Amino acid sequence: MLAPITSLSSFGAPCGAPALGITPVVGPVVTLAFTLPIAGPVPNVIQAPVPQSCQNSMPNVQLEVEVVDQDGNAVDISSAIGLQLWLLAPDGSPRPVPAAFVSNGMDGLLEYTTSAEDLTEAGLWGLQAQLTFGAQILTTRWAYFAVEPNVVDI
């Protein structure tokens, strides 16, 4: 049996944690991981989306993207001179954020860790990576994740 709710602090659990009986904690990193093919021909390997979510205005959400080719193999992005993620808010407004390599880029992994000001609107968000190689700009396909509302807006 679940413990009774005694205050609003019972809500607001970190992503993926049960909402009841957990006091919100500011600081732990929550990772949302995506495998995104370079935009272009329809990929030979299509992965079913895995539903991922986090709380509205939650800091330290680590958005991790693995850039892959049309066969699902990691793309070496180590020579990219520009790394950026685009967040598409539920209202349709695009928000660029700087990305960084998780290691050295040879594994196709890049990331961005949010602040409390990044994911301020509840709803379905889009995520796309943009990579600059000299004069060439490559983008990935879009991935989507949910930002869930808080019981009380912060």
pLDDT given at position 114:
92
What is the predicted pLDDT for the residue at 9? 36
Mean pLDDT value across residues 34-59 = 68
| pLDDT at residue number 152 | 63
Instruction: With cut-offs at 50, 70 and 90, classify the pLDDT of residue 42.
Output: low
pLDDT tens digits, 119-132? 999 999 999 999 99
How many Å separate Cα 50 from the centre of its chain? 12
In the chain, what are the domains?
Answer: 30-148 (2.60.40.3350)
Which has the higher per-residue pLDDT, 106 or 39?
106
pLDDT given for residue 102 in this prediction: 94
Rounded to an integer, what distance in angstroms lies between the CA atom of residue 150 and that of residue 118? 15
Q: Is 14's pLDDT higher than 50?
A: no
- Amino acid identity for residue 82 in this structure: G
Average pLDDT, integer, range 43-59 = 67
Residues 6+ apart with CB under 8 A from 131: 67, 77, 80, 82, 83, 84, 137, 138, 139
Whole-number Å distance between alpha carbons of 101 and 104 = 6
Mean pLDDT of the region 122-144: 92
Confidence of residue 41 (pLDDT cuts 50, 70, 90): low
pTM, two decimal places: 0.71
